[in-house]
Amino acid sequence: MHFRFAPLALGLSLLASVAFTGAADAQTRVTLKSATASSSYYVMMVQLGEVLRSESKGAIQATVEESQGSVQNVKEAAKRPGNFVFTTPPSLLAQAREGKKPFEGETGYDAVRTLFVVPYVTVHFVVRADAGVNSLADLAGKDFISGGRGTFCDGRTRTIFGLLGLEGKVNYVDTELASADNALKNRKVAGYATCSSHPTPQLQELATTMPIKILPISAAQAETLAKSDPSSSPITIAKGTYKGVDVDTPTVGVPVGAFTTTRMDNDTAYAIVKAFWSKKDEMAKTNPWWAAVSPSLVAALNGTKLHPGAARYYKEAGVKLPDSMQ
């Protein structure tokens, strides 16, 4: 799958909504959790919260919570009561169910259920334009923030570097992603990795304050990565997406889903999924990244079970999904 995205404005206004059918009981409260406030996924959750309120005519009240990323989201999903909606790549859920690092000895992940698909994570390798770095290989011997301490992006970055022969050659700086921009501006690091659907607000803002480059992943490198993780797909960041980045930049991405748990009742899950797909095209008028998703792409989340309320919607909509997700 190969996506191209153009620049966009990050406005959050939505068009007037139509009457909502199948709404949950009055004042159903839902918590939406995705990523840091500087990320595109946070913007997505804000939009979804507005959609849920408007489509249910206030019956569903959504609270958007900032998160440090998918690892935190998944860990909270095992414990959070009530109607908890979060985003994560499905590969991280598989790690959690199998008890792999950083989920060793933890339980509760079998209760996670799928709602819908959201735009893919785009892996960005960002460097100072004057760092003398033009390829991933050039990062050897350089100080680099690998995506934020303990995050999915940190793990993904280290995996990519390992598969591409950079294991032990890059000097990882262990810090939070929130500190990355200042570290770059102050020349303490050559660059950092960030994993979010593009364009990501953090990089849009950074690119207006200093010259940056985004390092490409070649077709051969992308093929190597896909052999290790078949869900990894080529993605192109179109030139002009970020100020000063005037060439198309090939990189890779992974699917991301919106999930909940069995603690959400069927009517609420149905209402959320129906509201999302009913308003997805309108959301895309404000933030075009939504145009990249369709109901058929829910199959990319295979390996996770559909919430029964979500399964009801897809059946009514005539969307064919793998039997293994039922």
Note whether 241 and 135 are same-domain residues. Answer: yes
pTM: 0.81
Which of 16-25, 90-99, 133-142, 143-152 has the weakest average pLDDT? 16-25
Which of 21-25, 147-151, 322-326 has the weakest average pLDDT? 21-25
Residue identified by tokens 């501006």 is 185
Note whether 129 and 10 are same-domain residues. Answer: no
- CA 195, CA 216: separation in Å to the nearest integer? 14
Residue 65, number of CB atoms within 10 A of its CB = 14
Note whether 199 and 241 are same-domain residues. Answer: yes
Kindly report, residue by residue over 85-122, the tens digit of the pLDDT.
999 999 999 999 999 989 999 999 999 999 999 999 89
Closest CA to 172 of 50, 303, 180, 122: 180
Note whether 137 and 58 are same-domain residues. Answer: no
Letter string b/e over residues 239-269, b meaning 16 or more CB atoms within 10 A of that residue's CB: eebbbebeeebbbbbbbbbbbbbeebbeebb
Kindly report, residue by residue over 272-292, the tens digit of the pLDDT.
999 999 999 999 998 888 988
Note whether 115 and 83 are same-domain residues. Answer: yes
Q: Which residues contact 302 (CB under 8 A, 6 or more apart)?
A: 90, 322, 324, 325
Helical (H) or strand (E) element with 5:
strand 4-5
What are the angstrom distances between the C-alpha of 72 and each of 45, 66, 128, 145, 152?
16, 10, 29, 19, 9
Note whether 263 and 297 are same-domain residues. Answer: yes
By three-state DSSP, how is residue 194 classified?
A: strand
The CATH number assigned to the domain holding 145 equals 3.40.190.10
Of 210, 236, 254, the residue at which a domain comes to its end is 254
Note whether 171 and 237 are same-domain residues. Answer: yes
Q: Average pLDDT for residues 40-62, to the nearest whole number?
A: 94
Of 254, 281, 297, the residue at which a domain comes to its end is 254
Q: Average pLDDT for residues 213-221, to the nearest whole number?
A: 95
Note whether 103 and 165 are same-domain residues. Answer: no
Q: How many domains does the chain have?
A: 2
Note whether 67 and 151 are same-domain residues. Answer: no
Note whether 227 and 147 are same-domain residues. Answer: yes
Helical (H) or strand (E) element with 122:
strand 112-128
Tokens of 14: 């939505």
Note whether 279 and 249 are same-domain residues. Answer: no
Helical (H) or strand (E) element with 310:
helix 308-317
Longest CA span, the chain: 58
Q: Which domain covers residue 262, as residue numbers?
A: 4-119+256-325
Q: What is the pLDDT of residue 289?
A: 85
Cβ atoms of 83 and 28 closer than 8 Å = yes
- Give the percent of the chain with pLDDT over 70: 92
Note whether 21 and 113 are same-domain residues. Answer: yes
